[in-house]
Amino acid sequence: MKSILITGGAGFIGSHTIRQFVRRYPDYHIVNLDKLTYAGNLENLKDVEDAPNYEFVKGDIYDAAFLKELFEKYRFDGVIHLAAESHVDRSISDPNEFIKTNVVGTVNLLNVAKDQWQGDFEGKLFYHISTDEVYGSLEEGGYFTEETPYDPRSPYSASKASSDHMVRAYYNTYKLPVVISNCSNNYGPHQFPEKLIPLFINNIRNNKELPVYGKGENVRDWLYVEDHAKAIDLIYHRGRIGETYNIGGDNEWRNIDLIRKLCEIMDHKLGRMAGSSAELITYVKDRAGHDLRYAIDCSKLKNELGWSQEVTFAEGLERTVDWYLENEEWLNHVLTGEYEEYYRKQYVER
Ligand code: NAD
Ligand code: DAU
């Protein structure tokens, strides 16, 4: 039986990845290590928590001594590393947590994997999950490929870029078997309502203003989260050691166009008059250093491993809106005091 560590499994993408692996691989023992920060929520995993091949461990990847004990206990064959501070706006107001978790936490994990595997790397893999934001910002034309030079511009993307460099350094220096993927913007059920799509769904639901940064002209490439989890499964099992794979939606939207689309869907779902949600759109001060455009060329993943997006944007948005409207209890649980405090600092006092 293989023993696999998935970090950050109580978060958004992590929980979909856990579900993918727990259901598909009954002969793997999946350990979910998560600190349960504001973004980690075990309710995301209710449907798999009793599975015999799944186990949750609460812990912090910043704590090297704890990681050593964990690796000694479970003797992992593989690591899929998603734990991170993931929100750009939070990295602008408080970068230090991003360095602790994203950089030092990743290095702690690399060290413990290297020390335990002791050069016997047969059947072992350290898979690091990263973002397209490490490549910087594009103007109107062009795409990020795996060869695009790194040019991170926010504290979040700089911390992720640092962690990617450390992962590659351990491959080059110690021959640690690694693979990295860099993905575009994910959306779908269980995403914390600080990110654009769930935040705006929740605000529309509550007739609150929709704070569009700048002119709403920034472009993002959106991928349904289950398609990302399937790509992670494929890369974990068939990706070439030492390689990087870009993952994307081939689905670019200007923020304002996406927001208008979301407003239309919400009007329809809530039985409101057409155009009423769009009246909530409010242009606010731009995000500091706001990257204009991200666009991923994911042809390497498609050509080499046969991956492709399965969920269209129309279908994915519909499913996402339905999920949030049907899961008010989940939303109410995550909208704690900490969230209210964050919302006030980010949108009311800025
Ligand atoms: P998330 O914020 O929803 O979840 C992060 C999880 O990590 C949470 O469960 C949190 O409790 C846990 N965590 C944070 N610090 C920890 C620590 N010190 N020790 C242990 N656990 C800790 O994030 P997400 O959106 O699911 O992103 C997951 C990964 O995917 C991140 O590495 C992120 O950089 C990357 N990524 C995200 C996107 C996206 O659109 N959300 C796109 C590309 C890549
Ligand atoms: O590209 C991958 C990245 O996508 C991931 O690495 C990050 O973890 C993830 O958070 C996401 O980063 P973004 O900054 O692109 O996502 P966010 O949802 O914060 O914002 C999407 C766009 O919407 C961005 O251009 C900023 C804008 N925005 C966002 C918020 C929260 C607004 O206009 N208003 C808002 O209130």
Q: Residue range 29-36: average pLDDT?
A: 97
**Would the pLDDT of 350 be above 80?**
no
Q: Is 34 a catalytic residue?
A: no
Confirm if 204 and 263 have CB atoms less than 8 A apart: yes
How close is the Cα of 210 to the center of ligand 1, in Å? 24
Q: How far apart are CA 192 and CA 331, in angstroms?
A: 9
Does the beta carbon of 4 lie inside 6 Å of ligand 2? Answer: no
**Would the pLDDT of 120 be above 80?**
yes
Active-site residue identified among 156, 171, 245, 324 = 156
Could you tell me the pLDDT band of residue 341, with boundaries at 50, 70 and 90? confident
Q: What is the DSSP string of 285-302?
A: PPPTT---B--B--HHHH
CA atoms 318, 324, 327, 330: torsion sign: positive
CA atoms 206, 221, 8, 286: torsion sign: negative
Q: What would the pLDDT profile of 254-283 be if each residue is shown by its tens digit? A: 999 999 999 999 999 999 999 999 999 999
Could you tell me the pLDDT band of residue 339, with boundaries at 50, 70 and 90? confident
Q: How far apart are CA 282 and CA 56, in angstroms?
A: 41
| Structure confidence at residue 150 (pLDDT) | 98
| Structure confidence at residue 34 (pLDDT) | 97
Q: What would the pLDDT profile of 52-86 be if each residue is shown by its tens digit? A: 999 999 999 999 999 999 999 999 999 999 999 99
Does the beta carbon of 86 lie inside 6 Å of ligand 1? Answer: yes
**Would the pLDDT of 298 be above 90?**
yes
Domains of the chain, each with CATH number or no CATH: 2-186+223-250+292-311+340-348 (3.40.50.720)
Does the beta carbon of 80 lie inside 6 Å of ligand 1? Answer: no
| Structure confidence at residue 197 (pLDDT) | 98
